[in-house]
Structure 1
Amino acid sequence: AKKYGLTPKIHADEFSDNMGAKIAAELDAISADHLLKASDKNLREMARKKKTIAVLLPAAPFSMMLKEYANARKMIDYGIPVALATDLNPNCYTENMQFMIQLACLKMKMTPAEAIIGATINAAHAIGLANKIGSIEKGKQADIIILDCPNHKFIPYHFGVNLVEHVIKKGKLVR
């Protein structure tokens, strides 16, 4: 991939520890997705290399009715940046990032702030677009949602309700 100017992204360790986390570290992959079964040894290698973002997809174990979720708390404690995504596909049909933040807090032991960072700037880094999106900064696109809640700590505790009050895309109010 690098030979052709591409940055590797790896689907790793979803159903078994297939050493995906270690391979991601060795290849300096921009991200490793899933990591439900990644071993401590291989996660430590990802942490040591400091190049790969763990993209965790909490809807995957939810839709498969699994008890085990990726250990975000351990990854964060190791110093691995964690991003969140939905895993939208035919067997995991959700595009609801608010729900991903809720699952991340309740099932993966992330704080609300960590989950929001995972859904925004870390996710932007995981797709190589942090220079354009993922945070509110001068020169960026200004993709923003305004939620109807008292503060960010409220998000994980209000299920089944769309908290989005306004959507701003590229600086323009669209909803």
Structure 2
Amino acid sequence: MHLKTNLRKQNGAALLITLMVLALLTLLGMAVTSAALVETCITRNETVRDLAFYQAESGWQYGLFWLESQPGAIREDLGSLSAPSGWAEAFSSAAAGAPQNLDAADGQSSFAVSIHYLGTSQPPLYSTDFRRIDYSIHARGYGPLQAQSLIEVSAGRIIHGDGY
């Protein structure tokens, strides 16, 4: 009997402590869930940004390979065309100010490229018979969820002075 009288003197303290522990665990669970959701959003945004960056990487390489394949030295600003009739017509001076998007095979991602002629310079460690034609290639990659990434690359082409 002594046990029952001892329990009655607590007046619900065990219930109160249990409810406080339950409330604390609920708040802790909500904080962990919120942190997990934020981490998920961060991961998604990083993935989307990476996709746009990879498209921009493809874009400047596309522009550089096109520039390299041209037999003559290009001396004008150019922009990418969305539907070129051939590899030689992939860039146009008319699109220099607003390059058109080149869509990737998946139809969701694309890039736009502009090539800017910067002039000529004397290449280091070459004789005066050679000139370097300097270019700046700007590639903007587009990814899902309106993600964009811009890469600017400096490039040059060394030519013999006779071709200058």
Q: TM-score range by the shorter chain?
A: under 0.3
Q: Larger Cα Rg: Structure 1 or Structure 2? A: 2
Say which structure, 1 or 2, has more relative contact order (CA 8 Å, 6+ apart).
2
Larger helix share, 1 or 2: 2
Question: TM (normalized to structure 2)?
Answer: 0.22
Larger strand share, 1 or 2: 2
